[in-house]
């Protein structure tokens, strides 16, 4: 096993599974301990930033999804040098926005991006912590699309198996195939 694989195993061990949160039947993936381990966090972000820069896709911007996606997205943006755009829950962004509604593994919500943050033909990497049904990331992709951007890839730390989130993203985004979706801990 490579040093990288060992590092991923250590990251995996830091994540705490919390049953029945925020409601019965949901196994919540608590990634917050990763942010208390500065050595592993640095290893993870350095390796992933290198991957994002060298995977042959020319991203112009990272769009990070509220809220844990902000933590990872900001670090990846810093390390790659890519600009960061925030996709926030409805009502949080102060300037003109475009929004999209989505269903969640637990509930439903609405997400928004500042209209001025995406320019025509911007190649966008969408970043979040956990891919579940894919509803949130698909809604963000819809906003990017409606603002004239091109969704060029997705990055997730992990996914909830059995919810077909990747299939949902591929169905929703005509330019995307499985190779454009990076799930670090799979």
Catalytic residues: 68, 105
Least separation, in Å, of the C-beta of 8 and ligand AMP?
18
Closest CA to 60 of 125, 133, 144: 125
- Binding test (CB under 6 A) with ligand AMP, winner from 41, 52, 59, 68: 68
**What contacts 144, CB < 8 A, 6 or more positions away?**
63, 113, 118, 122, 124, 126, 150, 151
Are 165 and 159 a contacting pair, CB within 8 Å?
yes
Give me the phi and psi of 4, to 5 degrees please.
Answer: -60, -45
* Residue 26 engages ligand AMP in binding (rule: CB under 6 A): yes
Q: Are strands 97-104 and 107-114 parallel, antiparallel or unpaired?
A: antiparallel
Cβ proximity to ligand AMP: between 43 and 133 the closer is 133
Sheet with 181-185, strands from edge to edge, namely 97-104, 107-114, 84-89, 61-65, 123-131, 150-159, 181-185
Query: Between residues 18 and 148, which has the closer beta carbon with respect to ligand AMP?
Result: 18
Instruction: Answer yes or no whether residue 158 interacts with ligand AMP by CB under 6 A.
Output: no
Binding positions for ligand AMP, 83-112, rule CB under 6 A? 104-105
Task: Please identify, among the stretches 32-40, 70-78, 132-140, 174-182, the one whose residues bind ligand AMP according to the rule CB under 6 A.
Answer: 132-140
By rule CB under 6 A, what count of residues binds ligand AMP?
A: 20
Q: Which residues bind ligand AMP (CB under 6 A)?
A: 26-29, 65, 68-69, 104-105, 128-136, 160, 165
């Amino acid at each position: 096993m490579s040093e990288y694989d060992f590092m991923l195993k250590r990251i995996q061990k830091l994540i705490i599974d919390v049953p029945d949160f925020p409601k019965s039947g949901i196994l919540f993936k608590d990634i917050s301990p990763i942010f208390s381990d500065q050595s592993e966090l640095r290893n993870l972000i350095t390796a992933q930033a290198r991957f994002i820069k060298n995977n042959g896709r020319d991203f112009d911007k990272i769009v990070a999804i509220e809220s844990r996606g902000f933590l990872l997205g900001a670090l990846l943006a810093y390390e790659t040098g890519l600009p960061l755009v925030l996709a926030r829950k409805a009502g949080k962004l102060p300037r003109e926005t475009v929004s999209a509604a989505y269903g969640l593994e637990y509930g439903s919500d609405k997400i928004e991006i500042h209209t001025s943050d995406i320019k025509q033909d911007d190649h966008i990497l969408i970043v979040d912590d956990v891919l579940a049904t894919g509803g949130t990331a698909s809604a963000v992709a819809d906003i990017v699309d409606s603002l004239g951007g091109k969704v060029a890839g997705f990055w997730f730390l992990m996914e909830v198996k059995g919810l077909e989130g990747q299939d949902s993203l591929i169905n929703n985004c005509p330019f995307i195939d499985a190779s454009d979706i990076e799930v670090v801990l799979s």
